[in-house]
Structure formats: structure tokens, C-alpha cells
Structure 1
Amino acid sequence: MKKLRIGVVGLGRLGKVHAQNIAYKIPNAELTAACSIVPAELEYAKQELGVTDVYSDYREMLANADIDAVVIVTTSSEHCWQIEAALDAGKHVFSEKPLGVDVAQCKQAEAAVERHPDLTFMLGFMRRYDKSYAYAKKKIEEGAIGTPYLVKATGIDPEAFVDGAIRFAKTSGGIFLDMAIHDIDLMRWFLGCEATEVYAMGATFKHPEFKEAGDDETGVAVYKFENGAMGMVHVGRTAPYGYHVETEIVGTEGTIRISAVPEKNQAMVYNVNGACTECVGSFPERFAEAYLIEMEEFVNCTLEGKQPGTNVYDGTKSTVIGYATTEAWKTGKIVEIK
């Protein structure tokens, strides 16, 4: 069996998920190199993943590692130049979202992808590969809810991880670019058209450190789409009960709700607190299968010489919307999305 030799750059929480999938769960992939500026992460690659070819310099890995492809799981602001460098070095590329933190960066990545049509590029909008979201898309295409005209999305990270969010706030691009990109992508996907206007606001009630970093702990945005459809997004970082993600698509003939209760499993505990369902604890736990399926898609597309369904232009369009949402949030005005 031919195997795709992959180097991963970035071994934080999500980087470890991708690295473990490549190393242990995808038969036609092989994790042959790892790169990180954090020494402990390189030690993790050696001890837990069995990777001996490790680098603290990304360009050195591109030049010297025995790899066919790169999986980029670094800070959002680093994605685009790393995508360009890898493609120009002749490597296939999978990059985590967002594509970039501004439109200029995204155009840089677009140009690199267009220069190398023979190489596979995929952007990590993993919710499209979650079985529930994929099922919803299929039902919409089959006409199960008529014409979809409203998408309502909620995504709130757990309070348990708020310290990391605070540390990341200064370089995240703001709450909407950081946290709403998946929901923005899903709105475009489910409604089948582009957003034209956005109004947004934010608030901080619990952790003033977000305000000090020029960010907010909670944000709400409302969108108008080119066909008259609407979107609503609520994102936050302080859910006390776990990781809360849900999506509702409303159509002329029905509604689809995904994860209305962020259940950990189907068990219910009956005790002095009542009838209780434990909530899923984090996004790697909730979307574990989706992360595996999307990486399998990248590997298979690369080996077969195909391009995946999520491309660089999806990344640019979502970033354009995210950037406009950030502008609306900061100015308090309705912003036209061009």
C-alpha cells in the first residue's frame, strides 16, 4: 500500500489530535516528521508518536524532511505564509482554519494554490465531515425542509479552558475570526449563497482580561444573505457545563436541529440533582470522528490526485465574512460584505 508521508507543524491540543490520527488511525498515511517551537511538543512527538525527525524551524523541515505533505496546526496568523512555503516546496497541504486573519493573507494563500494546481490543498472545516452535519446537508439537498432561509448557530467553549483563550486573545484575530469561522462556513454551506451584510456586538462580564486584550468573551452576529436568507451566530468562551455547539437550519417546510443538547453520550443520571445528562467536554471530543474523516479525505485525495470539497476559496470567503463581522463588532455599525 502506498503511504502518504506527512510532517505536522504545531502540536498543541488540536495538533496532537491530527498527529495521532495520522500516526495510528489512517493506514495509508505515515507521520514522518514534526515541527514545533515548543520543546515539550517535540519531546511528545518523539515519546508518544515515535517521530525521530523533529524540527524547531519550519523551513528546515520543508527542506530536509522526507515528506510528501504538510499538516499545519499553528497560530492562525502563521497559516498563509506556511501554506505558501509548503506548496512552493512541492508539498501537499492540509491547513487548519482559519485560512488567514485578514484578506491579504488569504489572497497570498490563494495565489500559492493557483500556482500549484497539481498539488492537493485542503482547509480544515471539519464540521462538514461530522456525520450529523453531513446528514443535515443531504436532507436539505433532498428538499426535506423546503427552502432553507435561516441558520442559527451557537458555539461556546468551556470555562475550564478559559485561561488558554485569554493567553491566545491578543493574536486570535478577535472572537469572531477565532470562534465563528466554522459557523460562518456552515451558514454558506447550508444556505448555498453568500452573506451581504452583518451586524455584531460583544460583551465581557466575567473575565476582564479579554477586554484588556482588545477582545470579548461573548459575541453575537446577525447576517443577511444575497437571496434574503438570514443567519445568527452566538459564540463564547465561558460555558460552565462543557463544550456547547448546536446548529438549527429553518426552512419553508421544516427545521433541522443538530446537537440541541451537547450530550456526551446517551446516558442519563437520575439523582438528587434531577435527571442529568453529562455534556461533552471539548471540541476534540465532540468532533473526534469528524477530524479523522477529514484527514482520511485529505490523504485519499492526495494519493488519488484529487481536490477535496473544502478549498482555499472557502477559507477566503469565510475570512471575508469573519473580518466584516469583526469590523461590525468593533464599530457597532451594519457592515456591507463585499
Structure 2
Amino acid sequence: MADLLSVAKLAGVSRATAARAFSNPDLVRPTTRERVFDAAKQLAFRPNKVAQQLRSQATQMIGVMVPSLDNPVFAEQLQAMEVAARACGYSLLVTTSEYSPSRESDIVEEMLRQRVDGLVLTVADAGSSAVLDKLRLETTPCLLVYNPPANSGFTSIGVDNHAAGTDATRHLLALGHSRIGMVAGPLLQSDRAKQRYSGYCHAMIEAGFTPRPLVEMERHTQADLNSLTPELTGEDALTAVICTNDLLAISLMGELQREGFSVPENLSVMGFDGIALGKHIYPALCTIEQPRADIGRTAVQTLLAKIRGEICTPAPLPHALRKGESVGMPTTRKFKLGTS
């Protein structure tokens, strides 16, 4: 197996120059650098990245924790992060918490042991997080993604969830709905959902209506129609619901249609996230779009700035309403569960 000295001899440079060509290529003249790289290619030589990391005390790795990879929101974020990180010479170490706050500390501890240069995390509740309490005592740069900044003290990349929840509710109000509800997964596992519900309440009170209690499902992305059934019958039955993520909205639409409900004639359903799948189902999902790729890119750029010692306080990124067929004007048609 070829070594660095063999590469240096073939390229006609010193061993130190050959090493510098791989570790700090910008410090080597382009013609010299190319000779070294050509020699390495001829000899099938690959530099020892681990040894370089030990010498520099930097792994060029970013630790990333997301709740799940089942949700396209996080997959799209990670794809954008990977491209942005690779362009700057970094790689990602990715793991999932499965929406479990109890797993978060173990995950972060393992990433710190692997000497990541920085952390990008989505935690259950940034305002009350054991893992963030621990990270305040660490020197490893860290930022949050999707979590509202709250009082955590950590930089957070994402949209203004309260404002987005308000805009979603105002859209339904403008269509004539007044009996509007909100559906979410376990609220204690998502401070984002809390903020979106807060925005919903703000818009309802602003319009002179009483907000409904949040309807919680057992899982974040899977609807259980039984949990919503009491709100769908009687004179005060809901005419519209906002789900706190698109997968939950899509799941709810499926459950409703299996029971004979028509969306949006019997119930308008709105999502939150703006995943591509929502455009391709029928009826197409009306939703609040988050700029998922921009969130991923901004997270990498901000974290690398922090690693360099710079102070960064990015503003919330913009959200947008994506209209769809799953939302319409309220009708006076009565409907009984289990009939068509």
C-alpha cells in the first residue's frame, strides 16, 4: 500500500508539502498541489483523515439529531444540510430520538464522545430540556432547528410557529369557518405544536370566537378518528380542523374518507409543513409551507459561523400558505358518522 512518502517522491516534493496539499490545499501552489494529487491517484493513495483529525483536534463532523426520518420534513432538511456541509468539508453524523425526550441525553452524549465539532438538534421542548441544560455546561457549539427559541438561550432556525398558526386559522376564518379545531400528536413531545396552537387561539379570540381544546392523538403522524369523533357530531360540530403536521393531516383525511366523510364538504382539513406528498393526493392538501431546504442550509451556515467564533442570531424564516382542495367554505349539510 502506498504511503505519503511515496506520493511525495513521485510528485517531486517534500513529505511536508505533500501532507500540506491534503490538509491545507489552499496553502500549496496550484501546480504543486495538482502534482501531488496526480501522484496520489497513480499510487491509489488515500490520506488518513482520522490522523489529520487527531492532529487538528477537529473531526469535521456535525452531529444532527432529529425526531424521525419517517417525516419528509426532516429528510428534506437533512438533504440540504448534507449538501451544504459537504461543500464546506464537513460530514453529518445523524441520529433520531423517536420523539422521546428520555433518549435525547444519551444520543447527545454519544455524539459528544465522537468529538463532533458542533450539534444541530430538534428536541421535544426547548423551554424544558434536560439535554439543553447539560449542553449549557459544554463548549461544543450547538443550535436548534424547528424548536421555538423560547427561553432556552440557544439559537434556533425555523419559522415563527405562533404566527404561522395564526395565519392558518385566519385563512379558514376568511372562508367563513367559525367552528375550527386543531389536532396534534402528544403535546408534551412538541413545543412546535404548542406554539401553533397558541397562534390558533390568538386568531380565534381575535375574530371573536372561543378556541376549542386541542385534540391530541397518540402518535404524531397517525390519526385516530375516535379521538376526534365527539367534535364531529351535534349542532356545534367542527367544520374545519388544522393538523400540526402534514402527515397527520393526510392520515386524518384517509380515516375520514373511510368512514364516509367527504373532504372538504363535511370537514375542511388543513396541514402544516408543506411536504410534496400533499400536492399529489386528492384532494390536494391545503397547508402552511416551511422552507425546509432553507432551514437545513441556514442551520449549517449558522453552526459553522459559531464554530469559527462568530455571533449569529438569524431571524425566523418565512412561512407561506399553500392553497389546496382539502379546504373549502363551510356547508350546512348534516352528517352522521358511519353513513355516506
Q: Which has the higher strand share?
A: 1
Larger CA Rg, structure 1 vs 2? 2
**When the two structures are superposed, what TM-score results if normalisation uses the length of structure 1?**
0.41
**When the two structures are superposed, what TM-score results if normalisation uses the length of structure 2?**
0.41
Between 1 and 2, higher relative CO (CA 8 Å, sep ≥ 6) is seen in: 1
